[in-house]
Structure 1
Amino acid sequence: MKREREIFKSMDGSFYHPNQRLWSLPNTQENIEKVQKQFGNKLEIKETAERTIKPPFFILNEKSQQHLDQLHQKLVLKGFSTSTVENYKSAFSKFLKFFESRDLVELTKEDIEGFVYQQVSKYKLSESSQNSLINAIKAYYEHVLGKPREYYEIQRPKRSITLPNVLSKEEVALLIQSTPNKKHRTILLTIYSAGLRISEAIKLRICDVHSDGGYLFVKGAKNKKDRKTVLSPVLLQELRSYYKAYRPSYWLFEGQEGGQYSTTSIQAVFRKAVKASGINPWATVHTLRHSFATHLLQSGTNLRMIQVLLGHSSSTTTEIYSHILAVSNKNVVSPLDSLSEILNLTGKNRAK
């Protein structure tokens, strides 16, 4: 067993999970073939989850298409983002197909919740997909039919609390050092240094770098909110060196043919750097934003300032980073310590 464990640990991309006390590899066909080659008949493959059923392709009838067009028009007029409009339309079209023989005005709360339950049960919808479905339905009734917000108070899934993936400062340094291309290196430095979303990084303009004021201006971020975030002096020097080398014309980061640098290109750059550096293979570009917030908190920056820099509407969203900080006997004193003398405990194992 020890020999097999050492072989697995030496494979590219292997990662140790201290909480589960196990080693893992990214689930790719290439890795599966490598493991099969190394372990042969000793390898046992188990399905850990039920296979999800994909919704069938369908075409809406004329009446349902009119309802969908009405929703589209209202969402656009209200200034919803393109991605939100498309997500709502995709979700609402399933609702329309399900009730295409019914009058939508006559549907009850029980009818709608029954539909949501059917979708969740049959297609194993994630929490976010379930919420998108409910939001799309409510958007139609509230924005198109003009019903009050309380008209259909549909049951939502209990919100799960998951800790975001975070890299250590050493891992971030390894990632950057493993990115020799100046443009690629500068993009990753900018995302980490300013806590940007990938969509915000590709929308940065040259004029958004305010060297005199010491900040980056993020225009039209999530929920169409403008904000300012920190401009590191170190990043400023990197940006000046990058500008001299590439001379972008409008966007700070431009593709080879001009125009915005693409999201997929940044993701590819990041994946390549992750593989070269050997850091946590489950990290994504967004992990750099989580790491920015966590490292600021570790250095003593208050949560309110971090909330402003990240552009969070609610402080509750930012507070999740306080749960990430390491908890150990190095920074937290257990109340048991104050009872040790009374209980005559020495810390040694007294079990017979």
Structure 2
Amino acid sequence: MEIRRRGLAKRTEDTYVGWYKRFVKFHGMRHPDMLGSRDVEYFLSYLAMEREVAASTQGQALNALVFLFDKVLGKPLEGINAVRAKKPRKLPVVLSKEEVKGLLGEIPEGVPRSLIGLLYGCGLRVTEGLRLRVKDLDFSNGVVWVRDGKGGKDRCVALPARLREALQRQVARARIFHEEDEAEGGSRVYVEKALDVKYGGKPSRSWEWYWVFPTLKRALDPRDGELKRHHLLEGAVSQWLTAAVRRAGIAKKVSAHTLRHSYATHLLQNGTDLRTIQEALGHSSVKTTEVYTHVLHAMAGKAKSPLDEL
């Protein structure tokens, strides 16, 4: 499969295949080789006008179909002029520092608190936290390396001093899993196939490439059918957060990304400049990061209500 040959993530593969199926079903189960740019336009317009999907969802569908026609079928799309989904401006949900403290206090100690503390303490996307390798935690220099983040970019952020001991214990726990895997026929984790081939299969078997947050059991990798140790799944993080939010009595819709929004806003409150926050979050443009200034101004009461002056 072309997606696997190019080493794209399993998550990307699942998403693209899902859009291919919807596209084919929309056009009466006709093979994509019989379809073209106009058919893609109809489908994208349908998503915007009939399904009323978000602009990001429509863009995801377009990316999948561009890959299908260009890389798989060898028929690059031209002149796509579909109705665009509306892209409303939404401000992020942000927790106060007191709410974050209360939330973390309700997270069970051990793996849950270490991982969720890391998401807030470093402003990581949930997938970035889950995919951390042992080599990405640089205790000597006090930094966390985020490899191949959104857009394929690398970055590093400061490792929270309060998490140092907990993360060292987590690495020691992961070491036990690694040794168990070695004793049961050899440790294997997923790494990009080209990298593994280049170094004779060593990365996928090495300790430094092992997951910081491994699963309890090994499972077959659907890409090659081999038994491997995988990292924890997003569903576990969602369950921990949902239960903690309820116990903490927080009346807000909180997800793992809310912690990232809160991290950025709290850095602004502490006087960190916007450019530094942009780099820490891995944003391509400072325009994306500027959204947190709107939240901060409201929280700081810069635009005070005239009611308070009466």
Q: TM-score, normalised by structure 1?
A: 0.64
List aligned pairs for 1:102-181, cutoff 5 A: 107=36, 109=38, 111-146=39-74, 150-181=78-109
**How many Å separate the matches in 2 of 1:207 and 1:329?**
40
Q: Which residue of 2 aligns with 1:183?
A: 111
State the percentage of identical aligned residues: 33
The 1:280–1:96 alpha-carbon spacing in structure 2 relative to 1, beyond 3 Å, is: same
Q: Secondary structure at the match of 1:324?
A: helix
Q: Any idea what the Cα deviations from partners look like across 1:34-85, whole Å, max 9, x if unmatched? A: xxxxxxxxxxxxxxxxxxxxxxxxxxxxxxxxxxxxxxx4444444322223
**Does the 8 A contact of 1:307 with 1:318 survive in 2?**
yes
Q: Any idea what the Cα deviations from partners look like across 1:172-214, whole Å, max 9, x if unmatched? A: 1001112242332222111111111121212222322112212
Residue type matched to 2:213 in 1?
A: F
Give the stretch that moved more between structures: 323-332 or 313-322.
Answer: 323-332
Give the stretch that moved more between structures: 182-191 or 125-134.
Answer: 125-134
Q: Which residue of 1 aligns with 2:197?
A: none
Q: Which residue of 2 aligns with 1:252?
A: 212
Give the stretch that moved more between structures: 168-177 or 224-233.
Answer: 224-233
Q: Cα RMSD over matched residues? A: 3.2
Deviation of 1:121 (Å)? 4.1
The number of residue pairs the alignment matches comes to 264
**Does the 8 A contact of 1:134 with 1:154 survive in 2?**
no
List aligned pairs for 1:235-250, cutoff 5 A: 235-240=163-168, 242=170, 249=178, 250=210
**How many Å separate the matches in 1 of 2:5 and 2:174?**
39
Which stretches in structure 1 are left out of the alignment for 5+ residues?
1-72, 337-346
Q: Secondary structure at the match of 2:8?
A: coil
Which of 233, 238, 252 in structure 2 is aligned with 1:262? 233
**Does the 8 A contact of 1:216 with 1:228 survive in 2?**
yes
**How many Å separate the matches in 2 of 1:105 and 1:243?**
52
Deviation of 1:119 (Å)? 4.2
**How many Å separate the matches in 1 of 2:303 and 2:32?**
60
**Does the 8 A contact of 1:138 with 1:152 survive in 2?**
no
The 1:325–1:95 alpha-carbon spacing in structure 2 relative to 1, beyond 3 Å, is: same
The 1:302–1:201 alpha-carbon spacing in structure 2 relative to 1, beyond 3 Å, is: same
The 1:297–1:101 alpha-carbon spacing in structure 2 relative to 1, beyond 3 Å, is: same
Work out whether 1:321 is the aligned partner of 2:281.
Answer: no
Deviation of 1:153 (Å)? 4.2
Give the stretch that moved more between structures: 308-317 or 165-174.
Answer: 308-317
Q: Which residue of 1 aligns with 2:271?
A: 300
Residue type matched to 2:264 in 1?
A: A
The 1:77–1:318 alpha-carbon spacing in structure 2 relative to 1, beyond 3 Å, is: farther
Q: Any idea what the Cα deviations from partners look like across 1:279-302, whole Å, max 9, x if unmatched? A: 234101221111111111221112
Q: Which residue of 2 aligns with 1:193?
A: 121
Rg larger in structure: 1
Residue type matched to 1:174 in 2?
A: G
Give the stretch that moved more between structures: 124-133 or 183-192.
Answer: 124-133
Q: Any idea what the Cα deviations from partners look like across 1:244-301, whole Å, max 9, x if unmatched? A: 6776544322344474233222221222211111123410122111111111122111
Work out whether 1:274 is the aligned partner of 2:274.
Answer: no
Residue type matched to 1:283 in 2?
A: V
Structure number with the bigger relative contact order (C-alpha 8 A, sep ≥ 6) is 2
Residue type matched to 1:320 in 2?
A: V
Which stretches in structure 2 are left out of the alignment for 5+ residues?
179-209, 219-228
